[in-house]
Structure 1
């Protein structure tokens, strides 16, 4: 292969890399994949999952709610939520009890132990966020949060 051909292929590769580095949706996907891997790995280290956190945080914010309402607030499918609630209940992190206003429903309540676990997970996730966002200043992190919230809200999934 001639030097000219090699130079052209190198230039083509550089053009392709530049094209990929300017495709914002690709960059967003790559950043999200990296973040997701770190979050999942750290949660697994303490025998937790993202859905566990979502349920605990939602119950902490809202108080006792029905499984149906919890599904709506977390975005976890009802069939998947049953398994999550069972896991959390087996660990003593949530309690399921009949709804006094409607005996056909269960209310899911955060236990004191669940509140303590939520605080541990808050710290763990804050540490992961610091690692993922390390190259950004505080104002840049705040701007990123606003921009991501705008995208998520626009595409129909309220944060």
Structure 2
């Protein structure tokens, strides 16, 4: 996929906010295309990856872990359950809550989607050296940490 800068004021093209926005748009498009090959979306991956990494959780805890709004968690879990990728079971400690667990099929899909994410990172960051990729990640992390406190 080739990047073509839109026609806008020349000075805008050198501002970090504009560059970050354009890079995020491009990254989102790449990730979206990669996930579409699995017939899934970003929410699905975040939930499956969280279950694979951290184990079963209530819907509310999953939403907090993944930074996904409660109503979106419910819709995504419904979709994943309908595909046989997760199961709901009553929480033994609190029967009013459901605990969500990944199935074997869900764990396999999470693994394959993780491979897709890795390929997208390689495509997105192709012009950067390993050192530059690490530096970019550190700088973006620092920016996000700063702004998440404010």
Runs of 4+ residues over 3 Å off in structure 1: none
Q: Distance in 1 between matches of 2:87 and 2:147?
A: 33
Task: State the shift of 1:21 in Å.
Answer: 2.8
1:95 aligns with 2:82: no
Q: Highest Rg: 1 or 2? A: 1
Q: Distance in 2 between matches of 1:154 and 1:73?
A: 20
Task: Name the residue aligned to 1:115.
Answer: 107
- Superposed CA deviations along residues 62-107 of structure 1, whole A, max 9, x for unmatched, are 1111111111111111011101001111111111110001111100
Scaled by the length of structure 2, the TM-score of the pair is 0.89
Quick check: which one's helix share is greater?
1
- Superposed CA deviations along residues 127-155 of structure 1, whole A, max 9, x for unmatched, are 11111110001111111111112222222
Scaled by the length of structure 1, the TM-score of the pair is 0.84
- Aligned counterparts, 1:16-55, within 5 A: 16-17=9-10, 19-55=11-47
* Greater relative CO, 1 or 2 (CA 8 Å, sep 6+): 2
Q: Distance in 2 between matches of 1:150 and 1:108?
A: 33
* CA RMSD between the two structures: 1.3
Task: Name the residue aligned to 1:8.
Answer: none
In structure 1, stretches of 5+ residues that fail to align are 1-15
